[in-house]
Amino acid sequence: MSGLQMRMIVYIMMGALAASAPARAQGFDVDATAAASAADRVEWHGYYEFEYWDIQDKNATFDAHKITIWLGAQLNDMARVVSEVEYEHLPRLPGDKAGGSGEIKIDSANLQLTPVEGYTGTFGAFYVPFGIEYYSYPGHKNKLVTRPKVMKSGGIIPGTWSDIGVDLSAALGAVGHLDVFYLNGDALNGGISRDSSTGGNKGKTAGARLMLDSFAEGFNVGASYASGKWDADDKYTSSRWGAHLRADGGKISGVEAMPVLLAEYVTGKDEAASSVEGKDKDVAGYYVQLSSRILPAVELAARYGVYDNDKEKKDNEKTETSVGLVWHMLPFVQAKAEYQWNGEQGKEKENNAAVIQLVADW
């Protein structure tokens, strides 16, 4: 699908959203909304992660990993604003060359318009609807401490890909959902706050995700696509294809202890971006994860992943194998433990990791 075709789809869907707005607005009781208390229209949630890391050949360390605050305000019956702000890693002490970065990150800040039930336009910063791993990455939802390296830090797609643009979502009846998006950034570099005609990447990325999550209880199967120019001259294209599957054995069978399966595969190409000069960079990877609540307060989880972020490089394939345990020790408080084995093709590295985590959410 060309960029022009994608832009036409976006413009048509935005026009449909705008055209339907007046009809809904006429029946909207402005006075009633004005009288509603802030508590009725504003909600907030969040979570906090504290960890102890012990990685081979590195110093063991405590880490106040992050605190994340999610805020949402329902402005009226068809518009709301949402934001997600997180603070990662306590700042360094003066003169300390190691330690945390003290980063403030805004992963989402957008306006959502829903003039007709099942059809929503999102405008601003949001998680790019590619795959489904970002739904389960927060500490209180993740069944392990680490995230799949195919989806985070492995060089396949930008980890926690948050970007600025437009997303148009449509419910497909009793089948699933379709998202069509148009963004500043790209699958090689990640999100870009503002494109500039005087420097940096000027192109846009277009893409879509088809998610069949309503046709059968406990199943979510789908595919994702994103493509756009990644270089300053808008000469080279970065593209990604993905497929995902989630099967919740508890919902399917009615037996809570049945495992939940998560699996994703991503492949793609970044033109002229390989570390081998003059070559395209082909990337690919997958992960498979199983988790099961074996006791009311205890879950077990295991994950295996394989990824290669530049197939032109010799012996570049890597693997990760993780096993972990989740203890729901108190309401809204979890304790987790994980051990991860990391493998590098053709190399002998000692970088396995053990980590313990406390998570609180509200």
Domain coordinates in residue numbering, the chain? 3-361
Does residue 223 come out as left (phi exceeding 0), alpha (psi in the -120 to 50 range) or beta? beta
Q: How many CB atoms lie within 10 A of CB 36?
A: 12
Q: Return the structure tokens found at 173.
A: 């009846």
Q: Helix or strand or coil: residue 228?
A: strand
Residue labelled with tokens 């963004």: 183
pLDDT tens profile 13-37: 444 444 444 433 333 344 444 545 6
Query: Is residue 215 a contact partner of residue 197, using CB atoms and an 8 Å limit?
Result: no
Q: Return the structure tokens found at 164.
A: 């600025």
Residue 350's pLDDT is what? 85
Higher pLDDT, 201 or 241: 241
CA separation for the pair 46, 138 (Å, rounded): 10
Residue 97's pLDDT is what? 57
Q: Return the structure tokens found at 96.
A: 């300390």
Query: Is residue 157 a contact partner of residue 151, using CB atoms and an 8 Å limit?
Result: yes
Terminal Cα distance for the chain, rounded: 42
Alpha-carbon separation of residue 224 from 59, 255, 289, 309 (angstroms): 39, 31, 19, 19
What are the residues whose beta carbons fall under 8 Å from the beta carbon of 235, sequence distance 6 or more? 229, 272
The candidate with the shortest Cα–Cα distance to 339, out of 359, 321, 362, is 321
The candidate with the shortest Cα–Cα distance to 315, out of 281, 346, 343, 286, is 346
Confidence category of residue 348, pLDDT binned at 50, 70, 90: confident
Residue 30's pLDDT is what? 42
Q: What percent of the chain has pLDDT over 70?
A: 85
Query: In this model, does residue 171 exceed pLDDT 50?
Result: yes
Mean pLDDT for 219-241 is 95
Residue 96's pLDDT is what? 59
Q: Within its chain, how far is the Cα of 314 from the centroid?
A: 30
pLDDT tens profile 254-288: 888 899 999 999 999 999 999 999 899 999 999 99
Q: Which fold has domain 3-361?
A: Porin (2.40.160)
Higher pLDDT, 203 or 353: 353
CA separation for the pair 322, 234 (Å, rounded): 40
Helix H or strand E segment including 60 = none
Q: Return the structure tokens found at 358.
A: 């406390």
3-state helix, strand, coil in the chain (%, to 5): 10, 50, 35
Residue 103's pLDDT is what? 79
Query: In this model, does residue 227 exceed pLDDT 90?
Result: yes
Alpha-carbon separation of residue 66 from 49, 90, 338 (angstroms): 5, 8, 18
Q: What is the pTM of this model?
A: 0.86
Mean pLDDT for 134-162 is 95
Residue 40's pLDDT is what? 80
Query: In this model, does residue 230 exceed pLDDT 70?
Result: yes
Residue labelled with tokens 């800040």: 109
CA separation for the pair 188, 239 (Å, rounded): 8
Alpha-carbon separation of residue 90 from 86, 107, 138, 319, 336 (angstroms): 12, 18, 18, 30, 21
Query: Is residue 305 a contact partner of residue 287, using CB atoms and an 8 Å limit?
Result: yes
Confidence category of residue 38, pLDDT binned at 50, 70, 90: low
pLDDT tens profile 288-301: 999 999 999 999 99
Residue 21's pLDDT is what? 42
Residue 73's pLDDT is what? 96
Task: Return mean pLDDT, the chain.
Answer: 88
Higher pLDDT, 80 or 9: 80
Confidence category of residue 197, pLDDT binned at 50, 70, 90: low
The DSSP bridge partners found for residue 104 are 87
Q: Using CA atoms in the order 335, 336, 337, 339, what is the torsion angle rounded to 10 degrees?
A: -170
Q: Within its chain, how far is the Cα of 165 from the centroid?
A: 16
